Amino acid sequence: MAFWSSTSVFTSKVPRKILFMFTLSLSVTYLFYSLMSCYNSLQFPLQENYVYQGRLVTEETTFVTLREKLYSTSPQGYLDEELIEVSAAEKTVAISTVKDNVETEQRTLDWVRNQAAPTKTAAVYQSPALEREHQEFSTTDNELRVNCTSDYGVKKLPQAIIIGVKKGGTRALLEALRVHPDIRAVGNEPHFFDRNYEKGLDWYRDLMPSTLEGQITMEKTPSYFVTSHAPKRIHTMARDIKLIIVVRNPVTRAISDYTQTLSKKPEIPTFEVLAFKNRTLGLIDASWSALRIGIYALHLETWMQYFPLAQMHFVSGERLIVDPAGEMGKVQDFLGLKRIVTDKHFYFNKTKGFPCLKKPEDSSTPRCLGKSKGRTHPKIDPDVIRRLHKFFKPFNMMFYQMTGQNFEWELEEGSDSRGSQN
């Protein structure tokens, strides 16, 4: 009874507002300690996740991820890894501030859960705006993806091109050059500057093999030499590029060209019929491509409007057969390379009528060009051969003067009608 009376006295002396505030503060304090207890129970697993993620997002693993990204051959795979890499960079910063506020910690926990999800799931949750931003600012990344392969090296635009001429010996030259360790060349003819120019330089570069520092990227497309717009297009791509032209007696070259066409289309007229507009009057059909290609001075004049002679090297198709090592030495000098391809790399095949490649360090069978090379020429009327030599002579003399080289094709008159090989 005394207790209740003392309580009544106490409550009567203390204002009700103060009593209310005191009770409220006790309740808030209790709630605060309850929350802290829950928070502490969650803190340890979170720290364990943070330590685990810390092991993942290290400098070493970042370089591993970057390497995988650069050497990825799948555009979609590259995009997924790129998006995850951006997310990882952003969330790593969030992890560093985990002890400062609970909100950041919660975002970190969410990120840890996201990282446990598959790669495709992470890509799905990227916003369209982020995807557009990635596309707008990924020019360099796209170039890296185009230029790098899973093997080694970087894809580059060519520093040297064999631009001509058809049936002059360009394939033999290219195969010999590919023996050199500092040359990487495309096997097939890209035909970029005459047929595929609208596909763009990225498409062209993607055709190139990967090269290391110090290696030269090359390609060969003989039709470039007779394509009027090729010089300007190549100059636009690389004005300091080196150009290689393999030339051959235009009469022999024309017969070789015809022989190739004849093997594919046996129904075509004879060489004599195609070479003349009117054989009785001696009117030669210079519009026939087999003959027009051989007017070298006409085509060279176009190239000299864009490139100096110092950036051009002319290979004799005839000497490439009788002295391949000598011609290869000159080409290697022109490209600024050490003379590695020598006479030890060649073996003359009497059946084919031209040299074959071999490895000097072993005794393996020499590697010769395919069946499309070395066909026997059809026998041509000697009078037609004589008239063609007479037709080409002034153009040849002009070509000698322009290049400063005498290829001595006039000494070969009479040899083209005896069924030689191409």
Residues 143, 144, 150, 153, Cα dihedral to 10°: 100
Which runs of E-coded beta strand occur in 108-259? 154-155, 160-164, 183-185, 210-211, 216-220, 242-247
For 147-191, what is each residue's pLDDT tens digit? Answer: 444 458 999 999 999 999 999 999 999 999 999 999 999 999 999
| 170 annotated ligand binder | yes
Give the Cα separation of 378 and 258 in Å (integer).
Answer: 9
* pTM, entire model: 0.63
3 state SS of 346? strand
| 270 annotated ligand binder | no
Give the Cα separation of 355 and 350 in Å (integer).
Answer: 8
344 and 413 in contact (C-beta within 8 Å)? no
Task: Determine which of 87-101, 134-148, 202-216, 250-264 has the lowest per-residue pLDDT on average.
Answer: 134-148
Structure tokens at 289: 């491509």
Catalytic annotation, residues = 167
Give the Cα separation of 347 and 356 in Å (integer).
Answer: 5
Structure tokens at 46: 């979170």
Give the Cα separation of 414 and 380 in Å (integer).
Answer: 10
| 164 annotated ligand binder | no
The yes-or-no verdict on residue 27 having pLDDT over 80 is no
Q: Strands 283-284 and 276-278: what pairing?
A: antiparallel
% the chain with pLDDT above 90: 53
Q: Which of 263, 256, 249, 257 is nearest to 388 (CA)?
A: 249
| 377 annotated ligand binder | yes
Give the Cα separation of 313 and 336 in Å (integer).
Answer: 12
Cis status, amide bond into 57, omega within 30 of 0? no
The yes-or-no verdict on residue 205 having pLDDT over 60 is yes
Q: Would you list the DSSP string of 368-408?
A: ---TTSSPBPPP--HHHHHHHHHHHHHHHHHHHHHHT----
| 256 annotated ligand binder | yes
For 257-292, what is each residue's pLDDT tens digit? Answer: 999 999 999 999 999 999 999 998 999 999 999 999
Give the Cα separation of 231 and 11 in Å (integer).
Answer: 105
**pLDDT (average), residues 345-358:** 82
